[in-house]
Amino acid sequence: MKNIICVVLILGMAALWLGSCQKDDANQQSQADAQVRVKVVNKDGEKISGIKVKMYDEATYSLFEKDNTVQPNLTEDTNTDGVATFNLNYNIWLGQPEGKVFMFVVQFGQGTVNHQIWSSGKTIKPGSREDIDIKLTNYPSEPEQPCLTFH
């Protein structure tokens, strides 16, 4: 009888110990940094290097929609693979387990005339690794032709 009680106590303690470890792992994951890889391609799907990709949080993007001269929260250039990588520190950018919405923008020109804007957004959660594609449908554009387009 004593052996059964000892086994039950040991198993109970092991279960409590394992359960507490899982909570720590889940907590660490919910506060982990995230990474977003934005791939920029032309209308034929060919990667484009050297393109400036802007990142906006929801509040700043709301302002940007009204005034496309609003400065982004972050900016990264695409590499030779056409990818701009944004490493988002949990404490600075995310701050909550459910994540936040970010918009990624490629923009040529600004103001009220002769500009082009392409964008894509996503909810970014802590610890996630996200891929976003932006296709520049008329890149490069003809600079002589005025255009006012949002894609």
pTM: 0.74
Per-residue pLDDT tens digits for 6-41: 555 565 665 655 555 544 454 555 789 999 999 999
- The per-residue b/e assignment along 91-111, b for 16 or more CB within 10 angstroms, e otherwise, is eebbeeeebbebbbbbbbeee
Sign of CA dihedral 111, 149, 61, 74: negative
Instruction: Residue 122: name the closest of 83, 82, 94, 142 by CA.
Output: 94
Give me the pLDDT at residue 15, please: 61
Phi–psi pair at 74, nearest 5 degrees: -145, 155
Per-residue pLDDT tens digits for 43-96: 999 999 999 999 999 999 999 999 999 999 999 999 999 999 999 999 999 888
Give me the pLDDT at residue 41, please: 95
Per-residue pLDDT tens digits for 88-141: 999 999 888 888 999 999 999 888 877 899 999 999 999 999 999 999 988 765
Give me the pLDDT at residue 146, please: 47
Which tops the pLDDT comparison, 130 or 4?
130
Task: With residue 87 as reference, give the H or E element that holds it.
Answer: strand 83-88
